[in-house]
A and B are shown apart, each in its own frame.
Chain A
Amino acid sequence: MDQAVPQFNITNMKCQRTAGTTVVLVHLVALVCFAAATPVSADGEGDSGNRESISTADHSTFDTLQRDFESGPDVTRACLTCHTEAGHQVRQSIHWTWDYRHPDTGQQLGKRHVLNSFCTNLRTNQPRCTSCHTGYGWNDASFDFSDDSRVDCLVCHDTTGTYDKAPRQAGRVLKNETTIHGDSLTPPDLGAVARNIGQPDIATCGSCHFNGGGGDGSKHGDLDSSLIDAPYSLDVHMSPQGGDMTCQDCHVSTGHQLAGGRYDMTARDREGTGKPGKRRRAATCESCHGVDVHDDGSYVARTLNQHNDRVACQTCHIPEIARGGVQTKIWWDWSKAGRLAEDGSSIHEKNASGRTSYWTRWGEIEWREDYVPSYAWFDGNVRYTRPTDEIDPESVVPINRLTGSADNPDARVWPFKVMRGKQPYDSARKRLVLMHLFGKDDTAYWKNLDWAPAIQAAMDEKGLPFSGEIGFVETRMYWPITHMVAPAEQAVSCEACHSRDSRLVGLTDFYMPGRDAPAWLDRIGALALLATLLGVLGHAALRIFFHYRRARQ
């Protein structure tokens, strides 16, 4: 089986930076390697990593670090001798807990709990999924979340680009040299990495956040490797020709807690920049730009400022998504998975851009780039459909529901990537199911290509009932769009929305000029104009006719 079906590797974090060049090997997800076999490289001139360090400490001079380290936790223990609170801080963050209780809806969210429409669930797939956990060794439920030494400091703070982690071992540091789809991985010199730590750059965060959902750009639509050394037209903030900003310039970190996140968003920020020195923990556009940002004094600028109570900045300033040349998944049909070639080997097909369009383990995938996002009213709250919630299999099941409407003052029109697909559900109990994909055991789907034991194992592990009857239901999931902000002159034009073929054609609960006039009004109006015109023309013709007849007489 392993010979026939290429290994599925979620992460193999590897960022290499040389003096002027950042090379990110975008095979963090093995599937990426299938999809886009060539590593993406980008020149890092002006990249944030080349900034002169403003740190008051040079870690390469620290006595504690002048030695070799046996393991990741060994390094962490050294870090903690000075950074005494860092372990505790990280352990409070969602990067560690993967657990988030929504303050308004009360839903228990975070990767640990939610079910999505990609590989659907963490449970029973840990060693693969948790290779992106900011810790060492989250293999299963027995992982000790209270152990400071389990925190992986280096995965965020490495600046050497040599910190290779084992792709399928729950975030453990690579012990033996290995090759992943043509790219060799070398066990890092942990001492050298530890002596050269610094702040994360875009590639660092991107090593996980660009690659979720099965490959570069797969999941979000506004986060992929093209943001590393992005051209100005792609992202004015992150581009070295633009703001040259790093992720944490917006996702401001306070004691390892980062601002922002999509479980509970600030869809409408009324506060703006706040008083000087205040308002550090905010990732909204307004927290830097203020609430009345269009300031050339024109009527249009004033009107645009007036729009910001109803329209998110992102809606106009991110005209299209997946603009950097990296495609994003828009359709994942698990019901098509499991098909084998005549000789019993797995089938692997690619689209014109080299992305996986069919794989025996995955089913059918569609990708898209450079396209107009979907729009919806959004007040920041998202409700997830949990495996305990009843679904209606006759309709498209919303994996997550946005709340918001035109008459909700906290809601604004936001852009979203809509991820669609088909995934298994319990057709007797009408519930979405978890699935056990990864592993070498005799229930893992990717090893055995048999849904019933794979679902049973995952449901058992989570303690959920499963009838054994499997169907596939169409699902839809919303991914808020906020990155890839284009230069102002590329912002969406007024008539893109204020027209008959409006971008907001799906939002019908309010009146919009240019889009919504009643059809009868235009019919009557046109008729009245036509009648008047014909009337005066007829009158004029008669006048001319009688004038010449009189002249002849």
Chain B
Amino acid sequence: MTQTIRLFSPFEIAWHWSQALLILSLLLTAFELHGTYALLGYDLAATVHVTGAIALMVVWVFAIFWHVATGEWRQYVPTTNRVYAVIRFYTRGIFRGEPHPFRPSRGRKHNPLQLFAYLIFNALISPAIWITGLIYLSLNLFGDVLPIPLGPVATVHIAAAYATAVFLIGHVYMITTGETVFQHLKAMLTGYAAVETEPH
């Protein structure tokens, strides 16, 4: 039986899309600052990058508060439960038209493989980029407050940026793997998703 439920709250929708927009603009300007291409001009790129980073920090402060206050942080507790079934689905079942072994619900929105990806992003990539980014920012804004050589900081920052781009490609692709290509996107835009309330 299929039932349409509110999977994502308005806050989550706003959080997700503002974060998406900011991460995209950060990545776009990041690689201009890195010298990969010229687009906005270095000074505008730097301005957008730093402004975007500060805005993203604000978004994150709200998001962390929201997750703690609502208890939604539990959504991100990783699990190995049925992870092999999910892996098997993406490597085989999806080509055979099999249904997804994981059914999202209000209490468990993300499948175990997804959780694993988010865990890597939240626990590794994100801290790496924020810690190095804040050091970078402090150097620019307040001078040599921290006696840290810029080279290693920048190297970690750039590596994390590449990892974010890799994450983004995978993430965007995974959006298309619902029952229809735009099913997940629609859910993330409207907050509503048709979910199976009983197993097949």
Interface residues of chain A, those whose CB is within 8 Å of chain B, are: 298-300, 302-303, 306, 309, 493-495, 498-500, 510-511, 513-518, 521, 524-525, 528-529, 532-533, 535-536, 539-540, 542-543, 546-547, 550
C-alpha gap A298/B158 in the complex (Å): 25
Asked whether A521 lies within 8 Å of B158 as measured between CB atoms, the reply is yes
Contacts of A533 in B (CB 8 A): 169
Task: Report which of A303, A494, A516, A525 forms a contact with B154, defined as CB distance below 8 A.
Answer: A516
CB distance from B86 to the nearest CB of A (A): 14
Return B28 CB to nearest CB of chain A, in Å.
14
Q: How far is the CA of A521 from the CA of B163 in the complex (A)?
A: 11
Residue ID in chain A nearest B48 by CB atoms: A299
Give B166 Cβ to nearest chain A Cβ, in Å: 5
For the complex with contacts A494-B46, A524-B159, A535-B170, 11 further pairs of A-B residues with Cβ separation under 8 Å are A298-B47, A300-B47, A493-B43, A494-B41, A494-B42, A499-B42, A514-B34, A514-B35, A521-B162, A528-B162, A543-B177
The one of A303, A510, A529 in contact with B162, judged by C-beta atoms closer than 8 angstroms, is: A529
CB contacts (< 8 Å) of B155 on chain A: these are 517-518, 521
The answer to whether A536 and B35 touch (CB under 8 A), given A300-B47, A493-B41, A516-B154, is: no
**Which residues of chain A are near B43, meaning CB under 8 Å?**
300, 493-494
A-B interface, 10 closest residue pairs, ranked by CB to CB distance from nearest = A525-B162, A494-B42, A536-B173, A511-B151, A546-B95, A495-B42, A511-B150, A514-B35, A299-B47, A300-B43
Give the A-B contact count at a CB cut-off of 8 A: 94
Most buried by B among A299, A499, A540: A299
Q: Cβ of A499: which chain B residues have Cβ within 8 Å of it?
A: 35, 42
Residue of B nearest to A303 (CB): B140
Contact yes or no, B169 A306, CB < 8 A: no
B143 within 8 Å of A by Cβ? Answer: yes
Q: Is B96 engaged at the interface, CB distance under 8 Å to the other chain?
A: yes
Q: What band does the interface of chain B fall in when counting residues whose beta carbon is under 8 Å from A?
A: 35 or more
Let me know if A532 and B158 touch, CB within 8 A: no
A495 to B50, CA, bound (A): 17
Contact B169 A536 (CB under 8 A): yes
Q: Tell whether B18 is near chain A: CB-to-CB under 8 Å.
A: no
Expressed in whole angstroms, the minimum distance between the Cβ of A295 and any Cβ of chain B is 16
Contact between chains at A529 and B96 (CB < 8 Å): no
For the complex, what is the distance from the CA of A499 to the CA of B162, rounded to whole Å?
Answer: 19
| Alpha-carbon separation in the docked complex, A302 to B139 (Å) | 12
Some 24 contacts from A to B, beta carbons below 8 A apart, are: A298-B47, A299-B46, A299-B50, A300-B47, A306-B140, A493-B43, A494-B46, A499-B35, A499-B42, A511-B150, A514-B33, A517-B35, A521-B159, A524-B159, A525-B161, A525-B162, A528-B166, A529-B162, A532-B166, A536-B170, A536-B173, A543-B95, A546-B97, A550-B96
